[in-house]
Amino acid sequence: MGLDFLLYCAIQASLQAGEAIMSVYNSDILVELKEDKSPLTLADKKSNEVITNLLKDTPYPILSEEGKSIPYSERKDWERFWLIDPLDGTKEFIKRNGEFTVNIALIENGIPIIGVIYVPVTDYLYFASKERGAYLVSDHNLEFEFEMQVENSKPAQELKILQHSGDKLPLKKKARPFTAVASRSHLSPDTENYLNTLKEKHGEVEMISSGSSLKLCLVAEGKADVYPRLAPTMEWDTAAGQAIAECAGKKVTDFNTGLPLTYNKENLLNPSFIVQ
């Protein structure tokens, strides 16, 4: 299957997952705790079901935050697979601040080659592929007639419409101070120390706080210059954002080695990293 068709599938899945999430967001939110004490809502479950139902008809397996128990012995030989976070920023969802996303990435030999991030509350859609580059569509009220069974020219046509209705990333940079983006819910002492070194180097440093994968998107857009993450994240937190950032000409690298983040490791925990 071509990348256009797979990107089209991922966009469709993210939009439909967003609808499922908003059906819960606009009602009473009941919160469960998973084994690691992180929160889980009906929206996480509904979004995961929608995405997996749409992507299961593609040739590639799915690794999701809500289905992460697949043993390494089974997934280590995957050349291509979907890596999804059906609701990134569950804490932001519970706070109802709108800063949560649907993240879908296609991984090839450990590298994200497609990334889709959808923000249900603002209706912002970020998407990227190695073939097309990275785009932001902030008004994409387009009707899609989606057929998983047939690969034809329609995905390419629809993607072209989306591209023309959106903006290629990064956006034109406006005059502003050096800007760093940090987590709204997680700011480790190491991150604070790193931000202090930026202030010593650049003098004035403007800070932007944001939740979920939106932090990577802010760098991809060009609204921020750097996003340091020196606290734990998982692979599904970053894969889609990395694809979008890299297709926008940015880098997402291990903070200590300078090498790009890779995926489908035996341990799905990311190292500390920096986006710039």
Same domain flag for 77 and 111: yes
State how many domains the chain has: 2
Distance (Å, rounded) from C-alpha 151 to C-alpha 3? 11
Q: Which of 150, 168, 186 is the last residue of a domain?
A: 168
Q: What is the pLDDT of residue 233?
A: 93
Residues 129 and 111 both lie in one domain:
yes
Which residues make Cβ contacts (< 8 Å) with residue 27, sequence separation at least 6? none
Identify whether the C-beta of residue 157 lies closer than 8 Å to the C-beta of residue 125: no
Tell which of 133, 168, 203 closes a domain.
Answer: 168
In a domain, 109, yes or no: yes
Residue 34 placed within a domain: yes
| pLDDT attached to residue 93 | 87
User: pLDDT tens string for the chain (276 positions)?
Assistant: 689 999 999 999 999 999 999 999 988 777 776 766 677 788 889 999 999 999 998 999 999 988 768 999 999 999 999 999 999 988 888 888 899 999 999 999 999 999 999 999 999 999 999 999 999 998 655 555 544 444 555 788 888 888 888 999 999 988 899 999 976 556 678 888 898 899 899 988 898 988 889 999 999 999 999 999 998 899 999 999 999 999 999 999 999 999 999 999 999 999 999 999
Task: Give the range of the structural domain holding residue 190, as residue numbers without chain letter.
Answer: 178-275
> How much is the pLDDT for 141?
54
> pTM for the complete prediction?
0.92
- Do 184 and 56 lie in one domain? The reply is no
Same structural domain, 135 and 13: yes
Strands (DSSP E) contained in 44-139 are 62-64, 80-88, 101-108, 111-119, 124-129, 133-137
Distance CA 178, CA 190 (A): 20
Domain boundary among 148, 168, 188: 168
Task: Check whether residue 134 and residue 256 sit in a common domain.
Answer: no
Residue 202 lies in a domain: yes
∠ Cα 60 220 39 (to 5°): 60
Are the C-beta atoms of residues 221 and 247 closer than 8 Å to each other?
no
Same domain? For 271 and 186 the reply is yes
Q: What is the token pair recorded at 117? A: 């991030």
CATH number at residue 43: 3.30.540.10
Q: Which of 204, 213, 276, 228 minimizes the C-alpha distance to 14?
A: 213
Residue 173 lies in a domain: no
DSSP state of 234: B
Q: What is the CATH number for 201?
A: 3.40.190.80
- Based on the fold, state whether residues 152 and 241 are members of the same structural domain: no
